[in-house]
Every structure is written in structure tokens, then in C-alpha cells.
Amino acid sequence: MRHLVKTQQFTRESLKKLFDLASELEGMRDDSLRGKILATLFYEPSTRTRLSFESAMLRLGGGVITMENGRESSSQSKGETLEDSIKVVNHYADVIVMRHAEVGAADRAAAVSKIPIINAGDGNMGQHPTQALLDLYTIQRELKREDGIHIAFVGNLKYYRSPRSLAYLIGKYKDMKVTFVSSPELKMQSDVKTYLKRHDVQVEETEDMKSIIGKADVLYQTRIAKEWINNDEEYERQRGRYIITRAVADSMKKGAIIIHPLPRIGEISPDVDDSPHAVYFRQIGYGLLVRMALLRTILTKQK
């Protein structure tokens, strides 16, 4: 794996190897990537993903250069193409982590880059592979198993790249079940459902979150995302439809977990935070470990 642009690149074996390394790196800081430079190119705003990658690189002894508001950069304002920007940054860094508003931007970057490209999110209906990796690592680490897991994706499934990306990883495991919980307007796209069924994943859809609360091993809550719904009235209606309250969390089965890619904007009540089911802040720490393991794997292979 030279570039990471989509989750379909992984096998079950490569996922296990990556996750084993992530666990080994917990609490560690070393100089294994000393002399290496990470460039974070973010054409969309980001907090967790950008800081997580930068922290991961620094903890491994590497250096970081960053462009946070890429759409407002000098090169963008002058009309430079993405391809030319990537060719330029190739001279400054050893790996590029890139977020972009256009679906397929990571593929375009990888096609011209001589150094590894890591997709940190491309378009609202594209992919966010490293988020999916940390989501899966969180699930497996918290549940302490890989197979036989029932995951309920809740809320905004149409305009959210993270559930799409995770779905492509779920198909690599056995006896998996997925329930998509959403309004008709925000249903998961058919290509993902077709993929899961083709890989023997049991797929259900419902508008009733209460019907699956006591059954699912994982509640994957999502943000409705106002930036992707143009009508304010429609946004408010969707935003209040699926809320995980403390009562909802308390009705989950023993050992079940709640995860969320964050930020949350009211879809998980603050009083859920101290529930034994709430792991979304631990999930952030797991993400750091996964990104450390990913950088170590990719950059060590470049030697």
C-alpha cells in the first residue's frame, strides 16, 4: 500500500497487523520517523483529523508542515490545480495527508504524487478511510472480538463519508449485521447496501431507532451536518429526529457501545458521557494510535 485513498485497499490480515501495531504503540513516543516530514493539506476545515495526524507524527519523532485553510491559500486563489499543488509539496515532505471537498480528489492526488497520499476525507459522499479504521479499531477493542457484531448506523447516512467507509471494512468479517436507522431523506446509498449483501452481511433498514436499541452491539451516531442540508426548516426537522438521551443509553444491552466521529451537535445528550456505553471520547485516543501505526507502516515501507 503506497497510497491510502479508500478502505477497500485493506484485507482482514492487513487490518489485524495495523491494529496490533496500534496497540503496541499505546503510551509510546519514539524516534522511528525521525527526519521524516508530514504535510497536512486541508482544503476543508478540520480539528480532530488534522491534529490527530500531526500529533501522531510528532510522537514518532517526525516533523510537520501544515496548510489548514487550503481553499484560501495563495496557490488556490491564483488558480493552481490540485495536481500542481501536489507536485510542489512532493519536494517538501515525505507523506501528504489531504482533505478535500471533491469526491475523487485523493485519487487525483495519488495519480501524480511520488510520495504517499493519505485521504483524510474527500467530499461528503466520498470516503474517510482513516476515520473508518479508527472506528473499527474502537469497536474491536471495546467489544474484544472481530466477528459476530451488530452495528446500527443512526442519523445522516446519505451525506456522511465515515459510515460509508466503515461499511466497506465490515464486509471483511463473519456473521456481521448492519441496521441503517434514518429518515427516508437521509438513507444510506444503494451501492453500500449492495456491497454488504454481496459480502454476506445481514442488512436491515428502519426509521425506528427504539426498535434496535436493545439489540445492537454498536450504536454509530452521526451528525446531521447543516452544511449539507440547504433548507433550514428541513435541517431542524432532521436534527431533532434521532437523539441518544441517557434513557436511550440505559436501555442498551450490557457491553454495547456508542461511537461517534464527532463533533456532536446535540444528537448525543451530555448526560450520556458518563454512561458505561459511551466510548466516543476514548475513540479519539484510539484514533491517534491507529494513525501512528499507519504513518509508521507507510513511511517505513518507503525506506
Check residue 113 and report its DSSP letter: -
The predicted pLDDT at position 264 comes to 86
The string of DSSP letters for 161-229 reads: HHHHHHHHHHTTSSS-EEEEE--GGGPPPHHHHHHHHHTT-EEEEES-GGGTTTT-SEEEE----GGG-
The predicted pLDDT at position 77 comes to 55
Nearest to 40 by CA among 120, 149, 137, 124: 120
The predicted pLDDT at position 74 comes to 52
Q: Which residue has the cell 491517534?
A: 288
The predicted pLDDT at position 46 comes to 86
The predicted pLDDT at position 76 comes to 61
Q: Which of 3, 6, 40, 49 is catalytic?
A: 49
The predicted pLDDT at position 199 comes to 96
Q: Which of 48, 141, 193, 246 is catalytic?
A: 48
The predicted pLDDT at position 303 comes to 42
For the question of residue 47 being annotated catalytic, the response is no
For the question of residue 99 being annotated catalytic, the response is yes
The predicted pLDDT at position 229 comes to 62
Q: Which of 3, 50, 99, 100 is catalytic?
A: 99
For the question of residue 48 being annotated catalytic, the response is yes
For the question of residue 260 being annotated catalytic, the response is no
- Average pLDDT per run of 10 along the chain, which is 303 residues long? 91 97 96 97 90 97 86 62 96 97 93 97 84 97 98 87 89 97 88 94 95 96 70 69 93 97 90 97 97 96 53
- 66-104 exposure pattern, b = at least 16 Cβ within 10 A, e = fewer: ebbebeeeeebeeeeebeebbeebeeebbbbbbbbeeee
The predicted pLDDT at position 78 comes to 61
The predicted pLDDT at position 232 comes to 67
The predicted pLDDT at position 241 comes to 82
Q: Which of 36, 50, 128, 150 is catalytic?
A: 128
Task: Dig out the grid coordinates for 101 from the structure.
Answer: 471537498
If one counts every other C-beta atom within 10 angstroms of the C-beta of residue 203, the result is: 17
Backbone phi and psi for residue 229, each to the nearest 5 degrees, phi listed first: -120, 110
For the question of residue 128 being annotated catalytic, the response is yes
CA-CA distance, 189 to 24, in Å (whole number)?
Answer: 36
Taking only Cα atoms into account, the Rg of the chain, rounded to an integer number of angstroms, comes to: 19
CA-CA distance, 286 to 273, in Å (whole number)?
Answer: 17
* Complete domains list, the chain, with CATH: 7-127+286-301 (3.40.50.1370), 129-283 (3.40.50.1370)
